[in-house]
Amino acid sequence: MQLDGRTAVITGGGRGLGRHVAEALAAAGAVVVAAGRNPGEWRTPAGVATLKADVTVPESMTELMATVQEQFGGPHIVVANAGVSRPGPVAALAAEHWGEVIDTNLNGVFHTVRAAIPYLKESPGGRVITLSSLIGRRPMPGAAAYCASKAAVEMFTQVCALELGPLGITANCLSPGFIDAGMGRQLMANEALWGRFSGALAAGRPGTGEEVGKVAVFLASQDSSYVNGHVLNVDGGVGW
């Protein structure tokens, strides 16, 4: 299989969209470790191990990568997937909520990737995959913190690609649109909001976690060996 012999760490890989990505990586042959704050509450798919870790705490990520190395080998692939959303108009957005989003979605990606680099560079074909969003490039009112964090993640990934390329590591960003899993599913439950955006989807439907998982497998595999610094939209085409 494409990912035989590879160990992948995915933050937030126990529920929502991350769970689908973890499942896809495992189905492609990787040993997968999903890390999050509350792994005891997850129902992870078969073949996916869990470890407790908090992406906002640098030491937690250092410890996570060392534990993965010790127990599973690698890691060869890191998926910085953990994310939160705290919607609200800028004028009313609590500083605490702004801080939580930036600390998780941006600082957390930095802590995750930095902690993984010493292990990724140990063998050829190391992979960094970050998660952005359709609204990292298109402004959505009420989502300033989230949009800003995802825009920054895209640029962070592109810088990583240039720095890590010479070490044999690629860094790419997977940018989902509206996906019927996790926070995407929550958004769709808001009829007024979903009504505003659903008509803009060229595919005429939201994406599935499986469709995102397949793209993650491509980016994690040797098939993407000459793809580096790319932001790959998985949104079915969006006209807004």
Positions in the binding site for ligand NAP (CB under 6 A)? 11-12, 14-18, 36-38, 53-56, 81-84, 104, 108, 131, 133, 176, 178-179, 181-184
CA distance 10 to 215: 15
Q: Is 226 a catalytic residue?
A: no
Cβ 12 to ligand NAP shortest distance, Å: 3
**CB-based contact 235:202 (threshold 8 Å):** no
Query: Which C-beta is closer to ligand NAP: that of 133 or that of 157?
Result: 133
Report how far residue 176's alpha carbon sits from residue 134's, in angstroms, rounded to the nearest whole number. 6
47-61 core/surface letters (b: 16 or more CB in 10 A; e: else): ebbbbebbbbbbebb
Closest separation between CB of residue 46 and ligand NAP, Å?
18
The CB-of-123 to ligand NAP minimum distance in angstroms stands at: 26
- Shortest reach from residue 80's CB to ligand NAP, in Å: 8
Q: Which is nearer to ligand NAP, 121 or 208 (CB)?
A: 208
Sheet of 126-131: strand order equals 48-52, 31-36, 7-11, 77-80, 126-131, 169-176, 231-234
Angle at 218 between CA 213 and CA 222, to 5 degrees: 145
State the minimum distance, in angstroms, from the CB of residue 5 to ligand NAP: 26
Catalytic residue among 119, 146, 156, 218: 146
Complex with ligand NAP: residue 23 or 54, whichever CB lies closer = 54
Closer Cβ to ligand NAP, 122 or 188, answer by number: 188
Contact yes or no for 119/74 (Cβ under 8 A): yes
Of 5 and 199, the one with the shorter C-beta distance to ligand NAP is 199
Contact at 8 Å (CB) between 154 and 108? no
SS3 161: helix
Residues with catalytic annotation?
Answer: 146
